[in-house]
Amino acid sequence: MNTLLQKNWPWLVAAGLIVLWLLSTAVKFEPPVTDTRPIGGEEDILKLAERDDVNVLFVLVDTLRADRLGTYGYARDTSPAIDRFFSTGVRFDRHLSQSSWTKSSMASLWTSLYPTRTGVTRYEHVVADEAVMPAERLREAGFRTVGIYRNGWIAPTFGFNQGFDVYTRAPRRKMNPSVRAKNPTISDTGTDEDTVAAGIEFLRVSGHDGRFFLYMHLMDVHEYLYDEESAIFGGTQSDMYDSSIRWTDGTLDVLFAALDEFGLAENTIVVVTADHGEAFRERGIEGHARAVYRETTEVPFLLSFPFRLEPGLVIPTRTEGVDVWPTIFDLLGLDLPDESDGTSRLPEILAAASGEPIPDSETNAFAMLDETWGRPPTMESRLRVAVTDGNWRYLRSPGRGKNGEAMEELFDGENDPAELRNLAEEEPERVERLRAIADANLEARPSWGEAPKREIGELELNQLRALGYAIP
């Protein structure tokens, strides 16, 4: 605590946020005409671990499906800025989030542990102090750590502020009148423009004052929020979701431009990923936090380096949320977590950058959701699980069988990309093998015993309900 007080920058950030709030006008940057970053390759990636100037800018776009981004092959032009910015980085083509519910998925993303091993599976669960979060490790390594968020599930009261020097909601500015939103409560909680403006203010004031880890958790896609200019895809739920991605992409364009403007593009690793996707009645289910099919668990994982790689590098290997931080730690030359369900994907990145064949490190990936996450703690858990293996995906949903037993499904993603044709009865051996993997993962427990719990007050519950969550 002493050392924190001796440093002046957290107070500069606070001052910056206040100034921002007073001004309540957007800081606008024109996108750079040219990318100022040098050309780089495999050697430069390896050298990142020895550099003492590399920052991490981590953007989490809540509720963002991979297959709705241009760079992942979507036909609509939802994401021109993201597509452009990461075109000279690396795109992970098949990336699974560990859950379809923010809190559980984020706990796994930060700790590199599956939900059964974080113990964070229900609404009263808190990330344990014993869990080692990236902000803690980076602060120890000399980074200044700043998190800006709007989603109540990742509030400090749930343990998500561990290691952050500053962990705050962005001050809400006057909202752009052309912004529309499905959710009328948005006028109380602001928009991602607030979050990004606060992040930019941090970069401006303090971006060159030593190394930083800046985490921004964006929520406008979750809220289906967009402005008139982005409303170009029609009026269905799914169309509005696309418009919201387009709007968010514009917000990120401002952030990327600021990075360049402040001369930080040449020493910052940029990450864009998501906590889960969103369903649009592909199989009768809407929204997220209800099941773990492909539409709510296949998310983007995009990396950009302080230099430009050859355009269009793609890593086809199956990856998952628990791999993200082992990969970043490896890039930075930091030790991998002692306890981890994830794998560093640095070997795949190096292979892609040097034009070598990507190593055949196909692994299983695991996602789960406790369907009873929002129910009283006395109610017995009902766990939905998914295991992917290559193009195959096995799912088990409790109580959904004909006679109330668990329903098992098996999909062949290669020949059935929408994953609608259940092949479980035709492939009993494959089902048996993937079922065993699911069961083994379900048996894992936190090394610290169990997740701490806390009472959630009615006010906080109402704030969470306002996000659209059906908490009784």
Q: Which chain residues interact with Zn ion by CB under 5 A?
A: 62, 102, 275
CA–CA distance from 152 to each of 143, 355, 405, 461, 464 (Å)? 25, 43, 34, 9, 6
User: Please, which residues have CB within 8 angstroms of residue 234's CB and are 6 or more apart in sequence?
Assistant: none
Nearer to Zn ion, 102 or 116 (CB): 102
Q: Which amino acid is located at 135 in the chain? A: A
Q: How many CA atoms lie within 13 A of 101 on its CB side?
A: 27
Q: How far is the CB of 15 from Zn ion (least distance, A)?
A: 31
Nearer to Zn ion, 102 or 108 (CB): 102
Q: How far is the CB of 353 from Zn ion (least distance, A)?
A: 31
CA nearest to 324, candidates 155, 146, 108, 43 = 108
Nearer to Zn ion, 102 or 343 (CB): 102
Q: How far is the CB of 8 from Zn ion (least distance, A)?
A: 34
Q: How far is the CB of 62 from Zn ion (least distance, A)?
A: 4
Nearer to Zn ion, 102 or 162 (CB): 102
Residue pointed to by tokens 């990936």: 365
Q: Which amino acid is located at 444 in the chain? A: A
Angle formed at CA 337 by CA 333 and CA 343, multiple of 5 degrees: 80
Structure tokens at 86: 């990461």
Q: How far apart are CA 20 and CA 22, in angstroms?
A: 5
The answer to whether 260 and 94 are in contact (CB under 8 A) is no
Q: How far is the CB of 442 from Zn ion (least distance, A)?
A: 22
Nearer to Zn ion, 102 or 364 (CB): 102
Angle formed at CA 428 by CA 426 and CA 432, multiple of 5 degrees: 150
Structure tokens at 434: 């993937």
Q: How far is the CB of 201 from Zn ion (least distance, A)?
A: 25
Q: How far is the CB of 119 from Zn ion (least distance, A)?
A: 19
The answer to whether 54 and 274 are in contact (CB under 8 A) is no
Nearer to Zn ion, 276 or 308 (CB): 276
Nearer to Zn ion, 275 or 419 (CB): 275
Nearer to Zn ion, 101 or 366 (CB): 101
User: Based on C-alpha coordinates, what's the Rg of the chain?
Assistant: 21
CA dihedral 217, 46, 143, 205 (to 10 degrees): -70
Q: How far apart are CA 111 and CA 323, in angstroms?
A: 10
The answer to whether 37 and 268 are in contact (CB under 8 A) is no
Nearer to Zn ion, 25 or 157 (CB): 157
Q: How far is the CB of 135 from Zn ion (least distance, A)?
A: 19
Q: How far is the CB of 217 from Zn ion (least distance, A)?
A: 9
Q: How far apart are CA 240 and CA 220, in angstroms?
A: 11
CA nearest to 295, candidates 280, 313, 284 = 280
